[in-house]
Amino acid sequence: MADSNFVDYVKIFCASGNGGAGSKHFMRTRTNSRGGPDGGDGGRGGHIILKGNPQFWTLIHLKFTKHLKAGHGGAGSKQLMHGANGKDVIIEVPLGTLARDAETGAFECEITKEGQTHVLVSGGRGGLGNDHFKTATRQSPRFAQPGEPGIESWKILELKLLADVGLVGFPNAGKSTLLSVISAAKPQIADYPFTTLVPNLGIVKYHDQRSFVMADIPGIIEGAHEGKGLGLRFLRHIERNSVLLFMIPIDTKNIRNEYQVLLHELEQYNPELLDKTRLLAISKSDLADEEILHELKKDLPEIRHVFISSHKKSGLEPLKAMLWEELNQ
């Protein structure tokens, strides 16, 4: 899918339907010209509803459909007939979608399961018919309730990808290459920074038909939490990952320092990210011989690590085993 097709943030206008008016009808037949009230209730106005659909992975289908209006409820009628409910508008969204109020920024819901629904904007209630207002002293009420008006509101939908493993690293750390080698994903790969402009998902197969989902997040740079580079826009996708796999190429001047910089950016963006399981993959290890590898091990961060080469396809099975073990802790 083209990079331009990845949309993870939209602002939409939602208008729920008006409730139908209650009826103020009286029963009239050939044998009873002065029957009592028999006005039915109005129907409910249509809702705006979010629904989780795992077949979607982006919000692009809402990019050019920003005004959503539900149907109005029908009016009640004679013989206590209830008005029809207004037609609901169901918005199918990817799993991992958040909804917020555009004016206040208040969190409203989170869609994480297939088929999960949430009424984003409620339709107006239908009015009561005059049958509800008859009493012993008021046997012929000539009034009924009008329906409640619908609600108009701007909402923000924000996607945070659901993945088991998130790849964290500077541009050109080899994240996209790794994903392309151990999954069927085909991210754009080139030898220059910021090749990856949008997150990519890949399903990594493990033994006995087991698998897990890995996300390649666009490269972070120092100062990403302040809006530099592409990091700020996509750091939120890391919040949903169970395990964070830090990737640092072996030709980096100081692997420990680069790891600390990445860790600092995550902490400044959201301190809770540091509570996630962290693993380290030293990429492009085919560029170093055994003596260099031995020396590097003395100054690595104190976390589980593995040396890999996506080009030579070395160290990938130990990497998958380590990820699988941590995911099933």
Convert the pLDDT of each residue in 306-324 to its tens digit. Answer: 999 888 889 899 999 999 9
pLDDT band at 193 (very low <50, low <70, confident <90, very high): very low
- Is 35:131 a contact under the CB 8 Å cutoff? no
Superfamily of domain 1-159: GTP1/OBG domain (2.70.210.12)
Residue with the larger pLDDT of the pair 173 and 316: 316
Domain map of the chain by residue range? 1-159, 165-327
- Is 277:303 a contact under the CB 8 Å cutoff? no
Q: What is the pTM of this model?
A: 0.71
Buried b (16+ CB within 10 A) or exposed e, 5-27: ebebebebebbbbbbbbbbbbbb
What's the longest Cα–Cα distance across the chain? Answer: 107
Whether the per-residue pLDDT at 225 is higher than 50: the answer is no
What architecture is the 165-327 domain classified under in CATH?
3-Layer(aba) Sandwich (3.40)
**Average pLDDT across the chain, whole number:** 85
Q: What is the percent of the chain with per-residue pLDDT over 70, rounded to a whole number? A: 89
Helix spans in the chain (H): 175-182, 231-234, 255-269, 290-296, 316-327
Per residue in 278-289, pLDDT (tens digit) is 999 999 888 878
Q: Please give the average per-residue pLDDT across 250-259, as a whole number.
A: 89
pLDDT band at 153 (very low <50, low <70, confident <90, very high): very high
